[in-house]
Amino acid sequence: MTLQINNMAINRAASPPKAQIHMSDEDNCAVIVQVELGAKPIEQYSLQEITDLAMQAAKHLVSSI
């Protein structure tokens, strides 16, 4: 199962800033995760870093079921 990002929204007003990432797999099963982006300024995050954080959050959800 491979998840891919469908949509992402960044909330700069939150403290710390947060990203909400919508992901789905090839069967259109979807998950929405929210991750904090407070470790460094938002502009310094790459798409790959945010994707990695989202994947870690999704794995955490699956392992806690």
pLDDT digits over 8-61, tens only? 999 999 999 999 999 999 999 999 999 999 889 999 999 999 999 999 999 888
The pLDDT value given to residue 60: 86
User: CA angle, 21 as apex, 63 and 45 as ends, to 5°?
Assistant: 105
pTM equals 0.83
As given in the structure block, the two tokens for residue 49 are 């870093």
**pLDDT higher than threshold 80 for residue 64:** no
The pLDDT value given to residue 14: 92
Domain containing 54 equals: 4-63
The pLDDT value given to residue 52: 93
How many domains does the chain fold into? 1
